[in-house]
Amino acid sequence: MADTSDFRNGLIIKFKNGLCTITDFQHVKPGKGGAFVRTKLKNLKTGKVLDNTFRAGEPIEVVRVERKKYQFLYREGDSLVLMDNDTFEQINVDKSYFGNQDKFLKESEEVELLHDDKDAIVIAETPIFVQLEVTETEPGYKGDTATNVMKAATLETGAVINVPIFVNIGDLLKIDTREGRYVERVKN
């Protein structure tokens, strides 16, 4: 059984009936009393960061995970069809594993799935930045560039985001999938 001496950044543990990754930890030995370990844990499902203190030597349950790359093929109802890059086997993965990031995936995009030791999917990760073309937006007007004016734009995947007023139909944009926001216009 593992304990707090096995802590390292990136370690995935079972904590309060959920899976969390350790983002930061500090071993503290005060002058009086027992030693303890202060940690920052990020819940893999919700993304919420928790602060927690463990007693030194307290047993923990470590979850072994394996990262595997897949290629996104197409959407089918409430699931995404992915292909294993090594075996070419196709699997259906529920959209809920991707949070709201699945709307920025276009066909043949590469994603990563984390599997536990029972081969169950723990979490799905999309690329942090993607390049998508604007398919629909209202035209910008001259003189509106003095302030941070934003307008809605529909991307090639169907996602709608806010973009600066100078963005036009056909522009290629760099999108941050974590927050679903415009980063910059990409030069062709």
Q: What is the pLDDT of residues 117-170, one digit of tens each?
A: 777 787 888 888 999 999 998 887 666 556 677 888 999 988 999 998 888 888
Q: Residue ranges per domain, the chain?
A: 2-62, 65-125, 130-185
Report pLDDT for 38: 92
CB 155 within 8 A of CB 130: no
CA dist 184 and 161 (Å) reads: 13
Report pLDDT for 118: 76
CA 112 vs. chain centroid, Å, equals 10
CA dist 12 and 117 (Å) reads: 12
Q: What is the pLDDT of residues 88-125, one digit of tens each?
A: 899 898 888 887 888 888 888 899 888 877 777 878 88
pLDDT at residue 26 tops 70 = yes
CA dist 154 and 2 (Å) reads: 49
> Domain 65-125, CATH 2.40.50.140 — does that match?
yes
CATH fold of 2-62 reads: SH3 type barrels. (2.30.30)
Report pLDDT for 95: 86
> Domain 130-185, CATH 2.40.50.140 — does that match?
yes
